[in-house]
Amino acid sequence: MGLSPQPRVENRRRRRPNLRKLMFVLPNLFTVSSIFCGVYSITLSAGEPTGDNFYRAAVAIFFGSFFDAFDGRVARLTRTQSDFGVELDSLADVISFGVAPAILVYKWALGGMGIAGIVICSIYAACGAIRLARFNVLAHAESGTQRYFVGLPIPLAAGMLVALVIALNNLSAPISEAVGLWPIATLVIVLAFLMVSTIRYRTFKEAGLNLRTLLLFLLVIAVGVAVAIRGRPSLVLLVYFSFYILLGIGEEALFGRRRRRAARAAAAATVPPEADESEEPLLPAEEDEVPLEGAAAAAVNGGDDGEPDA
């Protein structure tokens, strides 16, 4: 009897998993985790209107911002950036930092305003979506390190609302009596406007590891410790987010006019020379469009320091 031939070793090699393909999943896991946090916050806000549920919903959004902050860094660290990740991140931000904070603020305070509260919260969510759409357009048009955001980033707008809910969570009186509904509604409208505005906010990506950065970091920590000791620890985040928002507004008030003047000068430099007499003259409507196109090109190229916006 003849023995059956032994299978060859080379034909029985196991297929090794492609680790490079698996690495593309890693940053997307952080983004999906942010979506889970946003959905969890929505379920808590839509449940029983208790202070504990509102607090947990706010903390869930805060954890969502943690995952959102690290998905891009993980993608750059592993060199797995992709257009798919950019679009997924924007969709996650709409849920976690647009819809979830809007529902939280409505159930926490603005529900007492009726239809007006629904409209104000819807405006906030819509402006957040517009802000993200504009960011994606600029991200595809620009490259390199971005020193500024154009408009208040939606995670920071959501962080401001979350910090407000956490700071005012354990008040003895109802929120409508302790603070009032219209001040909170005004804050929501202002945050919505800042997201779609052209006010530039620093990314702090140019900050390196040096003595000046270390001193600023220690100053920020000292301010937080002082607020926690003299006031309440829950006020620390509120102070930090408020300072960042006011920093962008202050820089726009001080340097915005000079930046716009430089943009107009750059736009004038990009206008093509006058046409020859033999060429057909432009119609009035076409003449109006020429400087507008130049201004748009200058706005994409950056402000007075030549750095592109994000």
Domain residues for 195? 19-270
* Residue 146 · residue 302 · CB < 8 Å: no
Structure-token pair, residue 268: 């004038």
∠ CA 106-111-113 to the nearest 5 degrees?
120
Q: How many CB atoms lie within 10 A of CB 116?
A: 13
202 strand-pairing partners: 148
Maximum CA extent, the chain: 102
Does residue 163 belong to any structural domain of this protein? yes
Question: Quick check: pTM over 0.85?
Answer: no
Lowest mean pLDDT among 145-154, 254-263, 298-307: 298-307
Quick one: what percent of the chain has pLDDT higher than 90? 39
Taking alpha carbons only, the member of 191, 100, 93, 81 closest to residue 133 is 93
12 within a domain of the structure (yes/no): no
The answer to whether residue 14 scores a pLDDT higher than 90 is: no
Asked if residue 287 is part of any domain, the answer here is no
Q: Give the CATH number, domain containing residue 25.
A: 1.20.120.1760
pLDDT of residue 246: 94
What mean pLDDT comes out for the span 55-83?
88
Let me know if residue 72 belongs to a domain.
yes
Res. 299: pLDDT tops 60: no
CA–CA–CA angle 27, 31, 32 (5° rounding): 115
**What is the predicted pLDDT for the residue at 287?**
39
In this prediction, residue 261 carries a pLDDT of 76
118 occurs within a structural domain: yes
| pLDDT score of 65 more than 50 | yes
Whether residue 294 is contained in a domain is answered as no
Please work out, in degrees rounded to the nearest 5, the angle formed at the alpha carbon of residue 204 by the alpha carbons of 203 and 208: 150
Q: How many domains does the chain have?
A: 1
Give CA–CA dist 98/228, Å, rounded: 29
Q: Residue 152 domain-assigned?
A: yes
Query: What pLDDT is attached to residue 80?
Result: 81
- Domain membership of residue 302 (yes or no) is no
